[in-house]
Structure 1
Amino acid sequence: MSLSFKYDEHNKYHRFARSAIIAAASLTTFVIVWWFVAIMANMTALPTPIETWDAFISLLNDGDPLTGASLSTYLSKSFGTFLKGLALAVVIAVPLGLFLGFIKPLREFLNPIIEVLRPIAPIAWAPIFILSFGYQIGPSLVVFVGIFFPMLTNTIFGVQKLDPMLLDAARTMGANPLQLFRKVVLPSSVPYIMNGLKVGLGIGWMCIVAAELYATPLGGIGFYLQEQASAGNWPGAYSAIIIIAVLGLLTTSLAEYAHKAIAKRMGIE
């Protein structure tokens, strides 16, 4: 047992080291290609990585050169908007997806509506939501739409993939509908729900940046990107893009960690 545990631990660290090396090599290659293209293009609209890095350090230390706002101010506004949209999407998409996946007549009735709305780009709703609900709520609703549909469709798919024999076995043992949901349907759907969440988080960051381009009084990292590009400060604009990419990576990584932790706790790893 002890040797097996040590072997598993060794494999775990080996996989982690391998993934870290591959990630470092991939990112290094990306930076080198970026640097080469920037030098060959010789365009002010395409700064080098070092110019972008200097702009980020300047923002971090001295704040926005145009407004004086700090990086933490921009991030806190964007995170607040993002989290409100995320919370609303989770609260609505997961229960609705479970019901639609479990109740076929309801799914058949609502599916045409979902299929009509789902292909619409979330950013198309930005001017409508912002003008209708204001700068405080409108951008969060754009994020909500971006996260809602991936979570909804993945949750429905997760319920539909459930083995009917598990439901029959639970009913045979006397489980009522609530127990079926809590003990069978929900645990089996968790991997699909978390996959929808990971996809939705990436789309959510796209939505919040696009929404902040409309809702400029709200501020946020999207506003910073727009003002830097408008002023011709391209290193500052690219530093905003890098910040957004890092935020997306961190949130999706956090979702992946939560997925593994929840799956392990529920015994479905």
Structure 2
Amino acid sequence: MVRRVGIVGYGHLGQYLVSEIEKRSDIELAFVWNRTQESMTGKVAEDIILKDLGSFKERNADLIVEVAHPSISQQYGPSFLAHSDYMIGSPTALSDSGLESSLRAAALQHGLYVPSGAFWGGEDIKKMADRGTLQALKVTMKKHPSCYKLNGEIEALNKSVSDKAVTLYEGSVRGLCPVAPNNVNTMAAAAMAANNLGFDTVQGCLVSDPQLRDWHIVEVEVWGPGDMAAGRAFHVKTVRSNPANFGAVTGSATYASFLSSMLGAHSKGSGVHLC
């Protein structure tokens, strides 16, 4: 059976997904929507372009994939879930506890899928969280200053970075998501996987490093069963080095990872799923 997929957003990632879907026979485009319609002219078939996102129901998509902005989930997330599976490409939106609750409540007949992206080991961490054995989780992201799109005080701090690495933020993922919504989707996915800890307890660290012109670094550190205070607890640390173009928000390997997540976002039923 051919699955119908609606793509919400036509930036770099949206364009990549559209191109990959068009190459396949097991899925097809139900629609593509973008805030700026002109950017799709001549690139997306006219009958595929959805001009009013509010009329998404008419296209009968099996899966809707958001790769636009966290505000899409605020405005349309529950409505999407009432009619189809929904893959939230900007999971930083879930740092809003009210939205997280409303989307969980809406995922009664269809699944809410959270892509793992650059979050390495997500399924294993979720298993630990489900068993209640996950004690702590910290995700550290290191990028060149030009790769960050930030708000508030840390934006000014990032602009002041010159020749040495600077830690822009260290604390709860919930506190970080609103000031770095385009950069820390990996951390938001971590907070969703670590469901016994959540956004308030999972720790995020954002480092601006002028030496990282070609790489994005993501470190995931996990503590499990045992005595953490005595240093005798289960502990794993992974370091993911993702090639990235200079100034790019998204690393090169993340595109293929996101595609894999999209292809796996089906048949898991209602509720929230990491993919």
Q: TM-score, normalised by structure 2?
A: 0.24
Q: Greater CA radius of gyration, 1 or 2?
A: 1
Query: Is the helix fraction higher in 1 or 2?
Result: 1
Q: TM-score, normalised by structure 1?
A: 0.25
